[in-house]
Structure 1
Amino acid sequence: MLKTILLSGYKSHELGIWDQKHPGISVIKYALEQRLRALIEEGLEWVIIGGQPGVELWGAEVILLLKEEYPALKLGVLMPFLEQEKNWKEERQDHYNQIMNQADFADAVSKKPYSGPWQFRARDEFSLDHTDALLLIYDEEREGSPKFLKAAADKRAETAEYPVFMVTMYDLQAAAEELEEKERPNW
């Protein structure tokens, strides 16, 4: 049974999403909600994110909404380093801080500000060590930053049971069509 999963995926800029009003965000959140609901029904208790803008923070929004229906569900944020939001635009910092204020747990793997890419690798390894599976929005045909986490999870899966649940661009297209169908007025 999967009690704790790591949730990650593309950063917002990798998807060409520059503000919180982009219509693609609702599609991503809908796809994540469907996957998370199924996992919650199977016993999921914790969802861990790294707090990066994009899929991780949108996923956190979904988790916070699902907590209303599933109060036992918990959100954890494992940042790679302290003050990761320091150089972000104000709107992005506000969004991040709203999520952080509602998280059930938050801590930084490296207890100092950014000093190198090793901090991201350390966060990934620590997160993989403390979760049962990975839920990743990623499509191998459209490379981006999630490829590093996927590679680490795939390597882990070679020697231990560590499922990697993927949400691909095809899954997002299907979610968009389903969402559109749900929102279409009945004639």
Structure 2
Amino acid sequence: MLEELKRLQTHIANFQERLKNLEAENTSLHQQKKEMEKHHDEHTTQQTTTLRSKQDKIDTLTNNLNNLQDQYNALNQDAKTLAERYSRLEKGCTDLKSRFQEILAERNELRVLKEKLHHEQTSAKQEIANLKEERVQLLEKNEHAKLKVEAIIARLAVLGTDEDKNTQEIQKLAHPSEHNEEAQ
């Protein structure tokens, strides 16, 4: 029994030793667990903070994206409006080109008409000058004829044929206005 008691004491000592080891190990594990929980809490807090900052960035980027999409839509609308205006301007330009061509054609026609009228005017001036010259010649001839008639009348008057009917008629023909005045 002593032997059994010694064995039991040895076993108890072993159990006590093992118990101390297990308690030390348990304490160590508790401490590791606390450190791990603390580390995990810190890591979780850090992850939560990171998630919040990432979510804030996502929200900011989403807002920026919405703003940029609004700007893009506005720019698309402006581009459509500008394209329509450009189309109208291009059509107006085409209309102006055709009107300009018509005006050029009218101008050319007017130039031709101007040249024709200028030629006609030159011809008319030349004809007027010719008529004036002819008038001067006719007036000179008329004056010359008048002088001849007056000379003939004067010669007849000198010859004493005042009573001659022919002479009187010649005088009437030469000076019809004088005879009309005398008659009145």
The TM-score normalised by the length of structure 1 is 0.14
The higher relative CO (CA closer than 8 Å, separation ≥ 6) is in 1
State the structure with more CA Rg. Answer: 2
Greater strand share, structure number: 1
The TM-score normalised by the length of structure 2 is 0.15
